[in-house]
Structure 1
Amino acid sequence: MSAHESIATDEQLDGVIRRVLSVYRSWGRHTTVAQMRADWDALFGVQTVAATVQTVAIGDLAAEWITAPGADPQRVVLYFHGGGFQVGSVQSHRELMAGISNAAACRVLGLDYRLAPEHRHPAALDDACAAYDWLIAQGTRPVDIFFAGDSAGGTLALTALIRLRDAGRALPAGAVLMSAWTDMTASGESYTTRAQSDPIHQRPMILAMARNALGAEGDPRHPWVSPLFADLHGLPPLLVQVGDRETVLSDSVDFAAKAKAAGVDVRLEVWDRMIHVFQQFPDDLPEARAARQAIGAFVRHLFSTPSSTRKS
């Protein structure tokens, strides 16, 4: 991506990496899933948020409305958090959701979908579609809904769109994907070319997370699992953001190319020097702040565009 007015110093970026690695390196063979989830929430979920937070139940699922000052109550970003389908929650992503609510000037609904290994695929996908159904039942129009997600949450946003399209359903206005995991076979070239530059995620870890999410019988190439292998026609406009040093870089680049070839309106942003879901570090990284503003502009533009004129 082109140079920005302000870029992170090496010291700022290294500080962020050390914080993330301090959690990853504390985990061992005997670390329980419950401890991993608590550690992840503690890493990301302690920031204060400049938004109102309201808990809500969607069936048996917990969710939160995140509303920044001035947000349009009629328009909603339905957010799916990352964490490899094993960790992460609305708590760990509350500050990021608040930032998106502020930048996009709309409410954000964060979903605590079911996690593996207790609940393997398609539990999370079922939950994502159920949350969309719940919003529709509440009177929210599809054209007033956006999907967004990071990492595994980006997977979920895309697979939900594909499943809804396959069912002939009306789709949301668009989707935002941050460091999306579109290929659970981890076959992209960046798993090799970025192996040295990515300080956090390597191919063996990605494949282990995929096995954990799918179970022994799961097919990592199924289009409702790995959207890279899906027929992508008919999807709404997409904003795809990814860091240049990520091993999952190809997941975004290859997916964006395939989506464009299928006629989807896709904007791909590859951010220089950035790591996995760098948008979660706005206090440290100017790029995180700029990326959030780009998300907000993309969402606001589509919400203000008549649905009849949108490219599908």
Structure 2
Amino acid sequence: LLLNLKNLGLPMPDKAILLSPWLDLSLTGDSLATNITTDVMLTPKALQTCAGFYLGQRDPEAPLASPLFGDLKGLPPLLVHASSTELLLSDSKRLVTAVEAQGGVIELTIWAKMPHVFQVFAGRIPEGNEAIQQLGAFLDTGPH
């Protein structure tokens, strides 16, 4: 969405949050292998199937499908949450490297042993509550 807004010359938000983002539909992240036994929600086969449904015959490295391969200059400050045990962890780590290399501002919080998008469990697990508080604090602060 952020890359598309930028490409279209539309206004960007002041900040953005990404929760366990899937940023590489070509599925080249190393955590697809290293976290294969620890991710309780996703499997490489499920990701491959979903990528196929979304992409059809299109290039999996097209930036609007896989932002890791795009021009990330000019994005607003980002806060990313990911789990140490999820298949998509390396997407978040590679995003930090790419955004910082292109002069952007990004913060990554890696939560230990949480399921994919665990923030939906706010009100049920303390980590969910803490994550929501952190997201709110990030959005409430002035520009970075």
- CA-based RMSD: 1.1
Give deviations 1:172-227, integer Å, cap 9, x for gaps: 11110001000111110000000011122111110100111122x22211001100
Classify the secondary structure of the residue corresponding to 1:242: strand
- TM-score of the aligned structures, taking structure 2 as reference length: 0.95
Q: Return the offset for 1:268.
A: 0.4
What is the aligned partner in structure 2 of residue 172 from structure 1? Answer: 13
What TM-score results when the alignment is normalised by the length of structure 1?
0.45
**Aligned pair partner of 1:291 in 131, 134, 138:** 131
Q: What's 2:55 paired with?
A: 214
2:88 aligned with 1:238: no
Percent of residue pairs identical:
38
Distance 1:201 1:167 in 2: 33
Between the aligned partners of 1:199 and 1:161, the Cα distance in structure 2 is 29
- Number of aligned positions between the proteins: 144
Distance apart, 1:242 and its partner CA: 0.4
Does the residue aligned with 1:235 lie in a helix, a strand or coil? Answer: coil
Aligned mates of 2:108, 2:35 — CA distance in 1: 18
Bigger CA radius of gyration: 1
User: Hey, what's the Cα distance between the residues in 1 that align with 2:47 and 2:4?
Assistant: 23
- Give 2:75's aligned amino acid: L
- The C-alpha deviation readout for 1:235-294, integer Å capped at 9, x for no partner, is 100000001100110111111111111111101000011110000112331111000000
Asked whether 1:183 is paired with 2:27, we answer no
Task: Report the AA paired with residue 198 of structure 1.
Answer: D
Residue among 184, 191, 195 paired with 2:36? 195
Q: Which runs of 4+ in 1 moved over 2 A?
A: 167-170
1:171 alignment partner AA: M
Aligned twin of 1:254: 94
The runs of 5 or more residues in structure 1 that have no matched partner are: 1-159
- Aligned match of 1:275: 115
